[in-house]
Structures are given as structure tokens and as C-alpha cells.
């Protein structure tokens, strides 16, 4: 049992890591990753929703009629998104404002809805929790890495304070003579850098 739970968790860290393997949830990946801080914040918010919604869908899977399951999933997901919104407004308002509309859009994030449909609705609570947590952590790592690359190229520094308890400040990493590559933190830069990262990931076997 423990071995299968570990397998369900770790698949989200590499084999099924979004967005590089599943190529899902690209809207927030492109929209919020102008900095590593935003990537980590969005990833942690999505992880919370994934974990909680997977567990609740699994618990209710025998009570939810198949014909209305998608509507039920959306209601469950929306409930936890509201919880995240309220918590961020109370304890991380600056980050909440930076992420903007992408927080409520977690409700229709295809990663969250997809895990509820493809896994949680068919499995017990512990495997569903491991699946949701693994996919969420993988998604957080994806956003954080893309955000870090864009921020480094665009500013030459990494600075942030995630949820008020994860501060970091790495200024002038490339030296004072570094000329920021503004393209990296603009919308076209997100597409180009994500494409290069997808290319690199596809050169590495998923197993």
C-alpha cells in the first residue's frame, strides 16, 4: 500500500509533471510566471485545491450521480478556491493582487478538473490524496522554475516573499554589468522560454 502511494505521488514529480508532460494548465503557467514568487504562490494555491478536491471527490464518488459528476466536481473545486482566495486576501494580499484573475480561474483549471475525473472519482481517498499532492507539487515546481528563469533573464535577480514566510533576496546574480533581457518577462518571452523547456523535457525519457 505504501509503495503504491509513493508511486502515485512521485509520478506527478516527473512522469506526469504538468505542464511539461501532460501539457495542461498552460494559461496560468504563461500568465503568472513573470517571477519565481508568483510561480510558487500560484503553484501552492493550486496544490491546496488539488489535494482537497481530490480527497472530497473520492469520499463522495459513490454518492455523486455519473450524469452530473462534472457539475459536482466544479462545485467542490470552487469551494476550495474560495477558501484559497479568502486566505490569500487575509495573509498574502500583495501576492493575491499579483496573481489577479488566475486564482478564481483555478476552478476551471484542466489539471484540477482532470484529476478529479480521471483519478479521484475512481479511487480511494489515500491514493487520490497522493495523486493530488504529487501533481500539485510538480505543477508548483514547473511554475517556480519557469518563473525563476524569466525573472533571472529579465532582471538579473531573484527577489520575493511568498505568503509572508518564504523570503528570499538574490540581487545582481550576473553582476552589476548585466543588461536585463526585457523580452523574458513579456508575454512572448513566456511562450519562447516555455517552448525551450518543453523541448528539453522531451529529450529526457519520462521513465
The tens digit of pLDDT for each residue in 151-165 reads 999 999 998 887 766
Please tell me the predicted confidence (pLDDT) of residue 207.
61
Helices (H) and strands (E) in the chain, counts: 8, 2
| Model pTM score | 0.92
Please tell me the predicted confidence (pLDDT) of residue 165.
67
Q: Taking the CA atoms of the chain, what radius of gyration do you get in angstroms?
A: 18
Query: Can you list the residues of the chain whose pLDDT is less than 70?
Result: 1, 164-165, 206-207
Question: From CA 185, how far away is CA 26, in angstroms rounded?
Answer: 16
Please tell me the predicted confidence (pLDDT) of residue 183.
92
133 Cβ contact list (under 8 Å, min separation 6): 9, 12, 47, 50, 51
Kindly list the distances between the CA atom of residue 122 and the CA atoms of 109, 132, 140, in Å, as whole numbers in the listed order. 20, 13, 25
Please tell me the predicted confidence (pLDDT) of residue 100.
87
Please tell me the predicted confidence (pLDDT) of residue 1.
67
Amino acid at each position: 500500500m505504501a509503495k503504491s502511494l509513493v508511486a502515485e505521488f512521485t509520478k506527478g514529480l516527473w512522469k506526469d509533471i504538468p505542464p511539461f508532460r501532460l501539457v495542461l494548465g498552460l494559461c496560468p503557467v504563461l500568465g503568472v510566471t513573470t517571477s519565481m514568487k508568483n510561480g510558487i504562490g500560484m503553484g501552492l494555491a493550486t496544490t491546496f485545491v488539488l489535494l482537497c478536491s481530490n480527497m472530497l471527490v473520492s469520499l463522495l464518488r459513490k454518492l455523486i450521480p455519473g450524469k452530473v459528476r462534472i457539475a459536482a466536481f466544479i462545485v467542490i473545486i470552487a469551494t476550495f478556491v474560495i477558501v484559497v482566495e479568502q486566505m490569500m486576501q487575509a495573509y498574502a494580499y500583495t501576492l493575491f493582487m499579483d496573481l489577479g484573475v488566475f486564482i478564481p480561474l483555478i476552478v476551471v483549471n484542466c489539471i484540477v478538473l482532470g484529476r478529479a475525473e480521471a483519478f479521484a472519482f475512481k479511487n480511494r481517498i489515500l491514493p487520490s490524496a497522493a495523486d493530488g499532492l504529487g501533481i500539485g507539487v510538480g505543477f508548483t515546481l514547473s511554475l517556480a522554475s519557469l518563473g525563476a528563469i524569466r525573472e533571472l533573464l529579465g532582471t538579473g535577480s531573484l527577489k520575493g516573499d511568498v505568503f509572508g514566510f518564504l523570503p528570499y533576496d538574490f540581487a545582481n546574480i550576473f553582476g552589476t554589468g548585466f543588461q536585463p533581457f526585457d523580452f523574458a518577462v513579456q508575454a512572448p518571452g513566456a511562450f519562447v522560454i516555455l517552448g525551450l523547456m518543453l523541448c528539453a523535457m522531451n529529450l529526457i525519457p519520462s521513465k
